[in-house]
Amino acid sequence: MTDSPQDLHMREADDEAARRLDLARCRAATMFAALPAEVHELGEMFEADGHELALVGGPVRDAVLGRSSADLDFTTSARPEQTEAILRRWNDGGALWDMGREFGTLGAVRSGVKVEVTTYRTESYDPTSRKPEVAFGDTLVGDLSRRDFTVNAMAVRLPSLELVDPFDGLTDLARRLLRTPVAPEQSFSDDPLRMMRAARFVSQLGFAIEPATAAAAAALAERIAIVASERVRDELVKLLLGDHPRAGLVQLVDLGLADHVLPELPAMRLELDEHHRHKDVYEHSLTVLEQAIDLESPAGSGGPVESPDLVLRLAALLHDIGKPATRRFEPGGVVTFRFHETVGAKMAAKRLRALTFDKDTIKQVARLIELHLRFHGYADTGWTDSAVRRYVTDAGPLLERLHRLTRADVTTRNRRKARALAAAYDDLEARIAELAEAEEIGRIRPDLDGNEIMALLDIPPGREVGEAYRHLLELRMEHGPLGPERAEQELRAWWESRQADAG
């Protein structure tokens, strides 16, 4: 009897998972053996004092994936005071930090090897709060059971290097699957932030969420509202800076989490009119995000927008959030979104403030959104040198990001139109480069500074100096460099005209 195509596909999938599992075991053994000598010695010291010590969580997961990890997190049967005594011997009385002592965590460093050691814990949660009541536990398996996902619930005992995997996290790693060690309903109810972490790991690791785990997250999504905004922000940032942010964002929306933490994102799923006269704004925004990421400079290259760039990614994701509020159906079935860039900039700033982003990030993202349509019309009307100068000056230090956002915002399937827009922007960038070389356009200033203005007009510091400065800046934008002599003439003519009007 021959196998059906479906049976063959399932068998091939199982074979591939088994191959990845064997590879993961071999890779993990190699990575664990290569741990720094200081780590092996630390394990021997805990063992000599009658305590268990195990490398745990992310470092173990990363080792299985063949990734190095800067973090070395350990868990132990020792109580904090016992851990402290061992760490002081281990690093010969060097630096030790204990800010996490109430949670059983102490840290130390020796020869550049930084470790954090936490006593086995058990936790119980108040349903109205994300903060656990911490109690010390007695077993490694009990400690692992409280972790977020099985792929993070593995440990390596030291100094024996025995892998401890009570919840089959190794298999889930091979299958690229996120599953909770305990019932997902209990896990997410205890700590709702774990639902955000699931979406974050989808972005960072390229994993999928196991169906029962996803269903529990969708059912409990509203509990994310009890989590502090800064914790939500941190998870969102990690998601956006991951390798697969689109997939992570789709999970946030599909699970209903975005309704509570970033409601503007699902709101972009506008109902298309029957003639499809406008794009799906949600899908368009996700595509723009991907295209903007593709335009980042390689990580470590020192390029102008080095990957991963949070400001660019936020601006790309949110550049059209003003469209739902500005959509209008005009006569003849035309759909418009007038001034959505201005509305969107304000909406983005409000949302980012609610998520407790820093002021600089908020300002930069809002400004990019406000400017993202400025380029449109360049190919049709052509810009004067003055308009090019204004474009550069208005963008300021955001110019390189604006270049990338504007290019990424082209998602048309019309290849001829896409090529024309790309060519037009190539031309604009070439003109910027030419003017920059001739005029130092990135540092445009009036031909006279404030001190020179005050001396020529014989006026003290005040509002009039600022007005004179802005007048000269406008002339500089319009005509390029004037030179000191002409600038003085223009300044005196402006001042005489002003005085005459005042008289």
Verify that 291 and 395 share a domain, yes or no.
yes
Give just the sign of the alpha carbon dihedral 367, 368, 371, 373: negative
Of 412, 443, 474, which marks where a domain is finished? 443
Per-residue DSSP letter, 73: E
Verify that 383 and 482 share a domain, yes or no.
no
**Which tens digit of pLDDT belongs to each residue from 9-64?**
556 666 666 777 777 777 777 778 888 899 999 999 999 999 999 999 888 998 88
Asked if 372 contacts 341 with a C-beta cutoff of 8 angstroms, the reply is yes
Verify that 410 and 367 share a domain, yes or no.
yes
Domain assignment present for residue 233? The answer is no
What size, in residues, is the chain? 503
Verify that 387 and 268 share a domain, yes or no.
yes
Verify that 268 and 404 share a domain, yes or no.
yes
- How many Å apart are CA 187 and CA 130, to the nearest integer? 11
Contacts 24+ apart (CB under 8 A), 31-40: 31/63, 31/64, 31/66, 31/68, 32/63, 32/156, 32/161, 32/163, 33/161, 36/111, 36/113, 38/90, 38/110, 38/111, 38/113, 39/72, 39/113, 39/115, 39/158, 40/158, 40/159
Domain assignment present for residue 484? The answer is yes
End-to-end CA gap in the chain = 106
Per-residue DSSP letter, 297: B
Give the strand pairing for 155-158 and 53-56: antiparallel
The domain containing residue 467 runs over which residues?
450-502
pLDDT at 187: 94
Quote the percentage of the chain above a pLDDT of 70: 89
The count of structural domains within the chain is 3
**Which tens digit of pLDDT belongs to each residue from 123-182?**
666 666 556 666 788 899 999 999 999 999 999 999 999 999 999 999 999 899 999 999
- How many Å apart are CA 98 and CA 447, to the nearest integer? 58
**Which tens digit of pLDDT belongs to each residue from 238-262?**
999 999 999 999 999 999 999 999 9
* Number of separate helices (H) and strands (E) present in the chain: 25, 13
Here the tokens at position 48 are 């000599």
CB neighbour list of residue 78: distance below 8 Å, 6 or more residues apart: 46, 49, 51, 52, 53, 86, 117, 119
Phi, psi (5° rounding) for residue 278?
-135, 160
Verify that 462 and 428 share a domain, yes or no.
no
Of 420, 443, 466, which marks where a domain is finished? 443
Domain assignment present for residue 212? The answer is no
Least confident of 320-329, 402-411, 489-498: 489-498
pLDDT of residue 1 exceeding 70: no
Domain assignment present for residue 332? The answer is yes
Verify that 454 and 434 share a domain, yes or no.
no
Verify that 438 and 459 share a domain, yes or no.
no
Per-residue DSSP letter, 462: S
> How large is the average pLDDT for residues 75-97?
92
- How many Å apart are CA 256 and CA 271, to the nearest integer? 18
What is the Cα gyration radius of the chain?
A: 30
Amino acid at 287: T
Task: With cut-offs at 50, 70 and 90, classify the pLDDT of residue 310.
Answer: very high
pLDDT of residue 433 exceeding 50: yes
Of 394, 422, 443, which marks where a domain is finished? 443
Verify that 394 and 461 share a domain, yes or no.
no
DSSP secondary structure string for all residues of 123-185: EEE-TT-S-EEEEE-S-HHHHHHTSS-GGGS-EEEETT--EE-TT-HHHHHHHTEE--SS-HH
Report the side by side order of strands in the sheet with 96-97: 96-97, 105-110, 113-119, 73-76, 53-56, 155-158, 163-164
Task: With cut-offs at 50, 70 and 90, classify the pLDDT of residue 275.
Answer: very low
Verify that 466 and 420 share a domain, yes or no.
no
Verify that 397 and 316 share a domain, yes or no.
yes
Average pLDDT, the chain: 86
pLDDT of residue 277 exceeding 60: no
Domain assignment present for residue 220? The answer is no
**Quick one: which of 302, 180, 285 has its CA closest to 240?**
285
Quote the percentage of the chain above a pLDDT of 90: 51
Verify that 351 and 332 share a domain, yes or no.
yes
Higher model confidence: residue 301 or residue 260? Answer: 260
Here the tokens at position 448 are 């006279």
Phi, psi (5° rounding) for residue 315?
-65, -40
